[in-house]
Structure 1
């Protein structure tokens, strides 16, 4: 049942084929395996996992064994990893989930591959954790692990004040009692940081910064969030008028505070902005709006930053946090190409990030060229068409397309959906497989979605729109985590293309330049144009670091996003390469999930448990 890895660092694998001999009791099989693992881990000096893993197996760990995100492949490497880490991590007291959907069960994952899966819990030297096991049957009938996941969920020394551990809340129970002031009096001093320096400075008050601030404060790490906008939520309010989230409500909750049951399935941008503003108040986050960084220096010997801030009223403040978390958006600076003759063009040219709404001017009958066919390109093209423009989308390479009403819900089926398991459990299951395995499974999921959406996809092909399902056919998963784009979640534009209401020009060789009233293409063709929108994406997040903090800091940071040699996302949510500096971003769900892990890393540094840098 070998797993083959191909494609260099593309992490393209072939899933194993397993015998199908249904066990009499999945719980017994899972318990026997977990007990054997515990027995082996109790003696790390003489660890022998031969009977526990197939030759081609996987172990993904988030902070339980190493203060980083790690993916380890093959039985030999897993044994080496466990032998190295267990003496310090001391994982023990393994126990299976005994209720709900994720207790031991047999699953037929795809044709030819079945496994026994179960959530489990464990203790460690520094905290408690949750994991997942997936056991497949060997030819001799034995059950061994194909994939194991371990994740630190809480530190022994910093238990969050949740549920029965919540704070009492009376003035007398607060530190210092009545002499320290009422809740509102304390909040004002906290927000202004009159009595202390923030341990952590979070740059950006979008979904990344807000989730991050809530997690840190729950762990007792003081945090100041700054943002250049006027109000919390403006990073969504200021985007184009018709924008709505493309992920459903159950997938996009914020940490500690899910959306109400009557929340719409897909959230309009301004409604989401208002939710962010309410969330910041409810979570008691310390936020300075209209605030920017003017300079930042890091003192390595002191493990401390000196950051100069300027606020909206012109006042300046110097802060000395120990950590800076960069939450300025998964994408960095807008990627704005320039072309020969552009200065002579009599029409309007702008980047998609500057788009607000086509109704702001009279565009009826105007010839609009949208360069790029990702989410933004489609939404902008649809917006112009609905306001009477003659729209052509210029497509250089293929784009993956799935629909919001079918494909999106198929992706979340069984996990983040109405009536599904608890969000916290779904988050663990969703992140528990190594990315190479998830991408391999996505190949099958993408095929199922394509079958369900055949009519739409065939219509797009007929209209001249080129589809791209990814190098291995993994669809949106590979596009998002390796490219950060290259896909469209259809909310209406595809039908406009199919009906010929929005035209598509396939243009693999790109743009030669501009004429006075046209766009000249490399294939010798030209398109008349009054407005050209460059929906050409964004640079690496590191470019924003370089622009704001300078070369000295950016040069020590790694590029962020895409998968590293092990198959983990580069630099995001984990050590960045620069001490005391962290990248944090992603969609709403990823920000909810990974804010826990980054907050734990920072708390571990502050508690002397972790160096905070890659070892």
Structure 2
């Protein structure tokens, strides 16, 4: 379709949608969706994240009473304007996969009345049986609270009106933050740092405590990945990001005792071990950005008798010391694959991967072509890509995968998968029994990518026999020189690495917060999807006042950190 036609379809639909919204006619508003259409709302109709499918669910949500008015009328979305000046101007779309779903997509801006806010929306329109253009998906996203917009200004040199330098200004700001932080962020990885930066841009004092001695160490200490950005380069970026964003970070610091929340003052009492001294602080908000959880280390009889090196994959640093040795890696996911490659590259005599359950494998070539390049094409501003990617309801993505999307992606790796099966490597695309073939996205959404292998070379080593495969669901016990299985078979080893994943984030939280607070949280996990397809607690209300969780990959944390900052700001302003 010509761009003029795309624009006309979008403009006509949006104009009609605004009439429904500005008059408070929720029935008319909902009629702009397909019967199985989706609404994903982030903070515009409620101070939460919601994804709803089907006309009845959308209408019930918008009809709920808030402060004496239906939610739809209370929020008061209006001033819809089609976005013609960005990469998300009206354009054709076709969803990947065999379903052949295509239509017109585009972005628009709007305002809301309660709260007074600026918003942005994204729509995907297709034709219904009568040829009318209706919303397959509609995304409404709060961008800023009016009068409290995110600052984008940076100052350098001497500050006008104040004869101080940038260094002096930052030092004064840090002193104010340390004296009375509004928000305490535990963890200085990408999620914690981005949350601190977003809060700072909204004028909220945020202090970050990081257990490592240097920002970025959580990446520096990982396995070296053979294809994507080097760990050291990413670690250095985080270090420079903290400086560039003027973030107040206490290094070599940790929570020294269980935090206590005072409901009367709406403040926490937190004891921080800061270097060689303990400091008591009283933030209003506590954000746990503690990463993917502590190492999950199964226990088997005889582990203490093994005479070689035995450690979890989180503590793998250098395979050079294992040159000429026999290595066994328990686990068959991403960590195991990277470590296997590392041992082979450094001359281990024998490398064996123990596969305890089937693995979801996708080649990096296919992932780049189908998963990364589609939502993240080159040359488009990252903010626009994040916005478009965020506009798709996760549960709808999984529906598309189960109904043929995964089968479509698998075709690109058929030769690879057939070769792996021939050497005894087991494959799956179900993140849980009976879930359907949800593919990589399902494992990422529901299991933090546990059980997946984004293959960057290990599969070739497996097929060639340079990495051997042992099916080992039934490990019996360890001996001084290896592992024995319940069928009587044995693997001799000088080094055993447990690539057995990490504990749930909530287990880390329980160790930090204690049972009394953690038992109040519902649902009982931070990540994984709720019944509507939103992540359970991350970057959204946790169920306990003043307690938040921040976690996730860069592309998830970039926009979500802004949503967290907006929710905290709204509470500070008495709006939520």
TM-score, normalised by the number of residues in structure 2: 0.91
2:244 to 276, 282, 286: 282
CA distance in 1, matches of 2:2, 2:33: 19
The 8 Å contact of residues 47 and 83 in structure 1, kept in 2 or not, is answered as no
5 Å-filtered alignment, 1:184-195, equals 184-193=167-176
Moved more, 437-446 or 137-146: 437-446
Aligned in 2, Cα 1:362/1:369: closer, same or farther, shift over 3 Å?
closer
Matched, 1:391 2:351: yes
1:455 to 410, 415, 429: 415
What SS does structure 2 have at the residue aligned with 1:39? helix
TM-score, normalised by the number of residues in structure 1: 0.86
Matched, 1:502 2:502: no
Residue 534 of structure 1: aligned partner: 498
1:149 to 121, 131, 139: 139
CA distance in 2, matches of 1:574, 1:91: 22
Residue 201 of structure 1: aligned partner: 184
Q: Deviations over 1:53-84 (max 9, x none)?
A: 23322100011111111011211221222233
CA distance in 2, matches of 1:46, 1:348: 64
Q: Deviations over 1:420-467 (max 9, x none)?
A: x22111111101121111123345554344322333222212221111
What SS does structure 1 have at the residue aligned with 2:346? coil
CA distance in 2, matches of 1:582, 1:592: 16
Residue 56 of structure 2: aligned partner: 76
Residue 368 of structure 1: aligned partner: 327
Aligned in 2, Cα 1:64/1:99: closer, same or farther, shift over 3 Å?
same
Residue 594 of structure 1: aligned partner: 560
The 8 Å contact of residues 461 and 467 in structure 1, kept in 2 or not, is answered as yes
Moved more, 349-358 or 192-201: 192-201
Residue 68 of structure 2: aligned partner: none
Matched, 1:491 2:456: yes
CA distance in 2, matches of 1:544, 1:86: 39
Aligned in 2, Cα 1:195/1:474: closer, same or farther, shift over 3 Å?
closer
Q: Deviations over 1:513-561 (max 9, x none)?
A: 1123231223332222222211111111111111123222222234111
Residue 67 of structure 2: aligned partner: none
CA distance in 2, matches of 1:83, 1:35: 22
1:340 to 297, 301, 318: 301
CA distance in 1, matches of 2:399, 2:531: 17
Q: Deviations over 1:372-431 (max 9, x none)?
A: 111111111121222222111011111112222342343122432322x22111111101
Q: Deviations over 1:467-487 (max 9, x none)?
A: 112242232100111011111
Aligned in 2, Cα 1:501/1:553: closer, same or farther, shift over 3 Å?
same
2:426 to 466, 479, 484: 466
CA distance in 1, matches of 2:471, 2:178: 60
Q: Deviations over 1:347-393 (max 9, x none)?
A: 3321111111111x2441x2211111111111111212222221110
Residue 119 of structure 1: aligned partner: 107
The 8 Å contact of residues 48 and 79 in structure 1, kept in 2 or not, is answered as no
The 8 Å contact of residues 39 and 52 in structure 2, kept in 1 or not, is answered as yes
Aligned in 2, Cα 1:167/1:587: closer, same or farther, shift over 3 Å?
closer
The 8 Å contact of residues 133 and 147 in structure 1, kept in 2 or not, is answered as yes
Residue 243 of structure 1: aligned partner: 225
5 Å-filtered alignment, 1:196-595, equals 196-240=179-223, 242-243=224-225, 266-295=228-257, 296-312=259-275, 314-329=276-291, 331-359=292-320, 361-364=321-324, 366-389=325-348, 390-419=350-379, 421-443=380-402, 444-470=404-430, 471-484=435-448, 485-507=450-472, 509-558=473-522, 559-595=525-561
The 8 Å contact of residues 352 and 467 in structure 2, kept in 1 or not, is answered as yes
What SS does structure 1 have at the residue aligned with 2:371? helix
Moved more, 517-526 or 574-583: 517-526
Moved more, 433-442 or 193-202: 193-202
Moved more, 26-35 or 40-49: 40-49
Residue 11 of structure 1: aligned partner: none
1:291 Cα deviation from its structure 2 partner: 0.9
What SS does structure 2 have at the residue aligned with 1:129? strand
CA distance in 2, matches of 1:190, 1:23: 49
CA distance in 1, matches of 2:86, 2:262: 49
Matched, 1:96 2:82: yes
Q: Deviations over 1:252-285 (max 9, x none)?
A: xxxxxxxxxxxxxx31111111111111111111
Q: What is the root-mean-square deviation in Å for CA atoms of aligned residues?
A: 2.2
Aligned in 2, Cα 1:23/1:193: closer, same or farther, shift over 3 Å?
closer
Residue 92 of structure 2: aligned partner: 106
1:581 Cα deviation from its structure 2 partner: 0.8
The 8 Å contact of residues 93 and 123 in structure 1, kept in 2 or not, is answered as yes
Residue 607 of structure 1: aligned partner: 573
5 Å-filtered alignment, 1:55-66, equals 55-66=35-46
Aligned in 2, Cα 1:108/1:591: closer, same or farther, shift over 3 Å?
closer
2:128 to 130, 138, 161: 138
Moved more, 585-594 or 83-92: 83-92
The 8 Å contact of residues 26 and 72 in structure 2, kept in 1 or not, is answered as no
1:33 to 3, 9, 13: 13
Q: Deviations over 1:28-56 (max 9, x none)?
A: 22222222221122232664346322332
CA distance in 2, matches of 1:316, 1:24: 65
What SS does structure 2 have at the residue aligned with 1:538? coil
Q: Deviations over 1:207-261 (max 9, x none)?
A: 1111111111001111111101111111111223x236x7xxxxxxxxxxxxxxx
The 8 Å contact of residues 407 and 453 in structure 1, kept in 2 or not, is answered as no
User: What runs of 5+ residues in structure 2 fail to find an aligned partner?
Assistant: 65-70
CA distance in 1, matches of 2:569, 2:529: 26
CA distance in 2, matches of 1:119, 1:34: 10
User: What runs of 5+ residues in structure 1 fail to find an aligned partner?
Assistant: 1-20, 247-265, 611-615
